Structure 1
Amino acid sequence: MVAVTGVGPVPPHGMLDGLPAEAVERALWWERHVVEVLDGRPPDSPPEAAPRPEFDPGRWSLTRREQAKAAELAAAGHRVSAATVKRRRQRYQARGVVGLVDHRIDRKTAAFGRVDERVAAAMTTAIGETTDASSRTAGFVLWRTEQLLIGADPPVVLPSRRTLYRLFGRLAHGQHVTGSARARRSLAARPDGPFSAVTVTAPGELMQVDSTPFDVLVRLDDGVTGRVELTGMVDVATRTVTAAVLRPTTKAADVAVLLARSVTPEPMRPGRAQALAMSRSVLPHRRLLAIDERFEYAAARPVIVPDTIVCDHGKVFMSRAFRASCRFLGISLQPAHEATPTDKGHIERTLGSVASLFAQFVAGYAGSTADRRGRGLVDGPLWSLPELQDLLDEWIVAGWQNRPHDGLRDPLSPGRMFTPNEKYSALLEASGHVPVTLTGDDYIELLPARWHAVNAYGIRLNHRTYDAEALGPLRRQPSGVKEKKDLWEVHHDPYDVSRIWVRDPAGGWITAFWTQLHRTPVPFGELAWDHARAGLPTSTEREIADAVASLLDRAHRGPATRPAAPARERTVVARTRATSPPAPPGNSPVEATATSEADTQVTATAKVIPLPLFDPFAEAGRRG
């Protein structure tokens, strides 16, 4: 192998992007002269050009060529000595064109400026004390810093008030010290290292369950107004909401019902658009129907039997009833760490999305906090609890399951997103991907450069998240490159999504891998996407969109006018009736249709086709 002759390493052009234009122009001017000293020809000379006699490497030594260059520059009006040319040449050979930049311009801002390190340490301690405390102002943190420095030996001379405020802004950056206490505690509960993710490659492999107050006022029994709780379960692999129930107060029995609804098909109900049927969806209806006849009249919502369920330490999830139900179905129950909502972030975000995508359109929406609540909600049209539950079930089938999800992007085409139903269908035809190892600093320098922030979870690039242990000191910290808004230089290979490279403060490279790289097999590329979309007519997509629009319009208008609310003393009785176990539903949608027709005095009859009863032992056998 013939060695390639050259002068210096691959130019780190990304670092030049963060410097003033005058400094870059001066460095490139010096590069032209240094290259001529080293090779005898300027860098833009044609290959057949001969070196000038005074810079010919075949005739003169390197020292004589440096002296000749110094004389030439001095004659042109530049006060340059041979020693200066030598230093420039050595720096260029060591660091490339970056070594020719004026070090006074390239110097990064110190972490704390000229402030005494003891002052910074005391303020860091004061900021740390605010994690579990009530939110206070920056002035309190400065006062607490002064208190911590009393009695220091030798005494500490505090800088000016303005300097202390600047130091506070740097140390408290991104920690919500003077903001929301809940956000501050959530940030403190995050792990210090890279965020880890459990490998999930199949529906039901990992599911999460949680409860939260539902931000809608409802009319309970006899017209009493009250708030309810939403308890939901989400599948991590497909983001499918397998079940969601509304109850005035969530109990262990309600969670057990939630589990039962997750593992059984949801029947089509009277009045729903036929576009919401499983037979009209992207779900593999025929294949599922061959396994379970109950899918013949099912709605377009996947039936997923959990392998593992992650929950918090709430009483309803730690109850004997819920644990017994999971043990009965062979489900592993995994409690999250206490006060660590990040252990079940998917369900936390999903329940928040229900509020923004559905609840705010419903009549009686009360907002998440008292300062967001409107007036006169009690006097307006409000849904009853069963009616609101029916609207929620219909919205999950029509809206959520057919809405593209940001967490279900195609890895090779991140601009395209799967819906939960499409992802469920695509996972049946999953394929794998073999990464190609990339090494070499010179090759990294040639890759495209971008500027990004290093967040707590890593770096977000093209809808993918990259992270590494070595990024710890850089998280939520400014890079010092003011021209790039304190962002960090990132190089990436457009044809290899497995990793990126981040330039550290010392000029080296930190390799950050794609956090989902270990997820194999998963659907990749056009094959999985087209398979999920196959068989879904365009007319069905329009019908689904129309069904969602109609649903939100009905939810916003509210029910028909109802009588005024009764006296306060009937509230307890109404809540007790609302929390009583509901009557078992009909065996099939045909029965429900017949009942509805009877209520409207329609004499037509229908054939009753009962669905088989739910058998948990049979379900466990099918899962195995």
Structure 2
Amino acid sequence: MTAGGGSVLRPGDWVTFDDGEHQVVALAGTAVRLRSAAGTESAVLASYLMAAPDFAVTGAEPLPEMEPFGLLETLPEPARAAAAEWQRHVVEVETGLPPGAEPGTPARDEYDPATRSLTERMRAKAAELAVSLRTVEGKRSRYLKQGLWGLVDQRTTRRWEATGRADARLVAAIREVLDRETNVSTGTRSRLIRRVIKTVEAAHGEGVVPLPSTRTLYKLIDALATGRHAFGSAVTRRQTANRPEGPFTPTFADRPGEQVQIDSTPLDVMVILDSGVTARADLTIAVDVATRTICAATLRPVGTKAVDASLLLARMLVPEPMRPGWSASLRMAASRMPHRQMLGIDARMEQVAAKPVIVPDTVVIDGGKVFISDTFLRACERLGISVQRARPRTPTDKAIVEATFSAINTLFAQHLAGYTGRDVTRRGERVEQAAVWTIPELQDLLEEWLLAGWQMRPHDALRDPFRPGKAMSPNDKYASLVAAAGYLPLVLRGQDYLELLPVAWRAINDYGIRIGHRTYDAPELGPWRRQHSGHTAKKGLWEVHYDPYDLARVFVRTTGGWITTPWVHLPLVNAPFADFTWDHARRLAAAAGLDDANEADVARVLDALLTRAENGPDIRTARVIGRTRTAAALPAPAAAPEIENTPDPEPDSAPSEVVPFGVFDAHAEAERWL
């Protein structure tokens, strides 16, 4: 039913709704009372009724379709002008006046609705335009249903096909070959054309599928290879092909710790290892999705172990202490985070850095052996943390931590000596010689930068909902989310942190505790020397926890609590050292003829090793030694025989046999030397 040119709904109308026929009984404000054919009455909102997929008014004309205004903009100007001209004629047939006519303008006699029927008006328009009556009827019908779009010449709306008129079998072969190029080395278009021809001939026979000219094949390949990087970077090509076909789903989190993503990757900086050799280090980070806080970050030599992930988890849950030399502006007390509330919970917050302690509810990891190890999974289970594994070869499942690695390289790594660039094409000359930082030094730099350069820097993904034009820093976002959540998570206590460290069972002797040819002792161990621990399953040994990346001290659990026990030769070493550093120092001591079981000798070698690593390798000395060794390995030339002062032979004597020189063969000479 219509009124005033628009569709209306009145009491008494029959409508289709909820897979049944209903009669409108009454209208009350925005509610419609319906009575079904079975006599059941119901009341629904008018907006809900009209939005139902199967809603329709029985006997009423369907609502007109809206014009696709966006598609009209894509048409050529002649096509739009022709459609507008037909619109003027159709409106004149329908109303008697063309669109835009001045008020009071009389209708022409042949189009006056008062004296002429619709059929007569359409015949008059057909005679005026020299077209058939059927043409005018079709234009009017399409205009009433689709508006201006119904008057457009549909030949001008055909979509452009990238393949043109090429044979469908040839197009299928090109797509097949392009798919096979994903995991192979990048080649040229001529190589691809050759493979396409071979594929077509193998599938359909030689000469069956018509092949265009070489120039047309180049154009066809470029059109079908758009977005594939088929002739560019092989890495980009594989990454593009590995993207999920569905839409990207952003990862959301409403509170700190709701989801934390953990991953590891080599850092684009050359560092000096304890052996003096330069190499890249593995960077493992944990990123909170809600605040973009880098909860913890550790640098290790290439080959991250399972204990590294567990230690990263432990470092996330304890406050970050201030280091000597750090600016006072990096203290939590100088930030906008809820420092006083945290201080009331944990007194350690008095001297901590301005980085929030976030207790994760869920951690997202990949399938790396480091993160699916029993050590890491048991640690998460003890802390009540849910572990969610990303799908294989799907980096978008943990896209935030992947993007954070790129940001670290851009904002931090590229400013360091020894920066390598993200690939070999961006690497400078002699990058190894520019390396000056050891892993402990770089770790300290990284932690200070995380406080000053990351936690206080506005992040584009952190926006104030009331001021979307202003980006927030991770610390500011944490403060706002904590206020919205209404609670503060309890951080890990000191003894809880020690529980996550690896365990060794040892006896407490008069000289202390021996672990890995190292002796640890402290006066507090006095009451427990030569005593049984009470653990019969461990034969009376004591529980000793240690950090494999800081062997300067161990932690002994006694009946009176934890005792921190330092290494007895710690004053001989001027830097922190790890277990692999100690093992290498023992090998160096043995190679030097020293007793690798003597702690003092190994400690001196270890101190020299760390000092050499701090200063970096002497490249010039190494080259001189290398050249000397190479020269010494060359065979010495044979001594020239003494020349006797003998008279020349007589001319009539028989000449000696002449041995001719052979032709020099480089390949044969190389084989002889090999």
1:227 pairs with 2:280: yes
Q: Where do residues 251-262 of structure 1 align in structure 2 (5 Å cutoff)?
A: 251-262=305-316
In 2, Cα distance between the equivalents of 1:119 and 1:12? 35
Task: Give the match for residue 421 of structure 2.
Answer: 367
CA contact (8 A) 1:209 1:232 kept: yes
1:273 pairs with 2:327: yes
Q: Identify if the C-alpha distance between structure 1 residues 99 and 248 changes in structure 2 by more than 3 Å, giving closer, same or farther.
A: same
Q: Identify if the C-alpha distance between structure 1 residues 228 and 101 changes in structure 2 by more than 3 Å, giving closer, same or farther.
A: same
In 1, Cα distance between the equivalents of 2:345 and 2:248? 39
1:91 pairs with 2:142: yes
Question: Which of 230, 235, 241 is residue 182 of structure 1 equivalent to?
Answer: 235
- Partner of 1:173, secondary structure, is coil
Question: Which of 69, 86, 92 is residue 36 of structure 1 equivalent to?
Answer: 92
In 2, Cα distance between the equivalents of 1:584 and 1:44? 92
CA contact (8 A) 2:162 2:224 kept: no
In 1, Cα distance between the equivalents of 2:431 and 2:204? 62
Cα shift at 1:354? 0.4
- Partner of 1:203, secondary structure, is coil
CA contact (8 A) 1:311 1:336 kept: yes
Cα shift at 1:421? 1.9
CA contact (8 A) 2:266 2:280 kept: yes
In 1, Cα distance between the equivalents of 2:244 and 2:383? 33
Q: Identify if the C-alpha distance between structure 1 residues 421 and 159 changes in structure 2 by more than 3 Å, giving closer, same or farther.
A: same
Cα shift at 1:48? 6.3
- Partner of 2:550, secondary structure, is coil
Task: Give the match for residue 13 of structure 1.
Answer: 69
1:121 pairs with 2:172: yes
The amino acid of 1:203's aligned partner reads: P
In 2, Cα distance between the equivalents of 1:254 and 1:582? 14
Task: Give the match for residue 550 of structure 2.
Answer: 581
CA contact (8 A) 1:248 1:579 kept: no
Q: Where do residues 309-458 of structure 1 align in structure 2 (5 Å cutoff)?
A: 309-380=363-434, 382-410=436-464, 414-430=468-484
Task: Give the match for residue 256 of structure 2.
Answer: 203
CA contact (8 A) 1:247 1:579 kept: no
Question: Which of 292, 298, 306 is residue 239 of structure 1 equivalent to?
Answer: 292
CA contact (8 A) 2:96 2:107 kept: yes
Task: Give the match for residue 100 of structure 1.
Answer: 151
In 2, Cα distance between the equivalents of 1:342 and 1:271? 39
Q: Identify if the C-alpha distance between structure 1 residues 377 and 164 changes in structure 2 by more than 3 Å, giving closer, same or farther.
A: closer
The amino acid of 2:93's aligned partner reads: V
CA contact (8 A) 2:269 2:418 kept: yes
Cα shift at 1:373? 2.2
In 1, Cα distance between the equivalents of 2:405 and 2:298? 12
In 1, Cα distance between the equivalents of 2:425 and 2:245? 34
CA contact (8 A) 2:266 2:281 kept: yes
| Greater strand fraction, Structure 1 or Structure 2 | 2
- Structure 1 vs Structure 2 CA RMSD: 3.1
Task: Give CA deviations for 1:517-572 in whole Å, capped at 9, x if unaligned.
Answer: xxxx9xxxxxxxxxxxxxxxxxxxxxxxxxxxxxxxxxxxxxxxxxxxxxxxxxxx
1:22 pairs with 2:22: no
In 1, Cα distance between the equivalents of 2:287 and 2:434? 33
Question: Which of 243, 248, 252 is residue 301 of structure 2 equivalent to?
Answer: 248
Name the % identity.
49
1:68 pairs with 2:133: no
Q: Which moved more, 1:371-380 or 1:227-236?
A: 371-380
Q: Where do residues 438-517 of structure 1 align in structure 2 (5 Å cutoff)?
A: none
The two structures have a TM-score, normalised by structure 1, of: 0.64
In 1, Cα distance between the equivalents of 2:480 and 2:114? 67
Question: Which of 186, 191, 205 is residue 244 of structure 2 equivalent to?
Answer: 191
CA contact (8 A) 1:204 1:237 kept: yes
Q: Identify if the C-alpha distance between structure 1 residues 324 and 357 changes in structure 2 by more than 3 Å, giving closer, same or farther.
A: same
Cα shift at 1:380? 4.2
In 1, Cα distance between the equivalents of 2:362 and 2:101? 67
The amino acid of 1:265's aligned partner reads: P
In 1, Cα distance between the equivalents of 2:92 and 2:466? 45
Task: Give the match for residue 528 of structure 1.
Answer: none
Q: Which moved more, 1:217-226 or 1:200-209?
A: 217-226
Q: Which has the higher contact order (CA 8 A, sep 6+)?
A: 1
Q: Which moved more, 1:347-356 or 1:278-287?
A: 278-287
Task: Give the match for residue 145 of structure 1.
Answer: 196
In 1, Cα distance between the equivalents of 2:341 and 2:107? 76
- Partner of 1:408, secondary structure, is strand
In 2, Cα distance between the equivalents of 1:160 and 1:237? 56
Q: Identify if the C-alpha distance between structure 1 residues 395 and 151 changes in structure 2 by more than 3 Å, giving closer, same or farther.
A: closer
Q: Where do residues 587-598 of structure 1 align in structure 2 (5 Å cutoff)?
A: none
CA contact (8 A) 2:362 2:387 kept: yes
Q: Identify if the C-alpha distance between structure 1 residues 277 and 143 changes in structure 2 by more than 3 Å, giving closer, same or farther.
A: same
Q: Identify if the C-alpha distance between structure 1 residues 107 and 169 changes in structure 2 by more than 3 Å, giving closer, same or farther.
A: same
- Partner of 1:27, secondary structure, is helix
Cα shift at 1:86? 2.9
- Partner of 1:156, secondary structure, is coil
In 2, Cα distance between the equivalents of 1:17 and 1:392? 53
Paired positions, count: 438
Q: Identify if the C-alpha distance between structure 1 residues 364 and 151 changes in structure 2 by more than 3 Å, giving closer, same or farther.
A: closer
Task: Give the match for residue 186 of structure 2.
Answer: 135
The amino acid of 2:336's aligned partner reads: V
Task: Give CA deviations for 1:110-144 in whole Å, capped at 9, x if unaligned.
Answer: 35322221112222211121222222223333222
- Partner of 2:297, secondary structure, is strand
Q: Identify if the C-alpha distance between structure 1 residues 390 and 152 changes in structure 2 by more than 3 Å, giving closer, same or farther.
A: closer
Cα shift at 1:221? 3.7
1:302 pairs with 2:356: yes
In 2, Cα distance between the equivalents of 1:41 and 1:294? 86
Task: Give CA deviations for 1:403-449 in whole Å, capped at 9, x if unaligned.
Answer: 22232234675543232222222223449xxxxxxxxxxxxxxxxxx
In 2, Cα distance between the equivalents of 1:4 and 1:406? 52
- Partner of 1:407, secondary structure, is strand
- Partner of 1:294, secondary structure, is helix
In 2, Cα distance between the equivalents of 1:321 and 1:421? 31
Cα shift at 1:260? 1.2
The amino acid of 1:182's aligned partner reads: V
Cα shift at 1:277? 2.0
The two structures have a TM-score, normalised by structure 2, of: 0.60
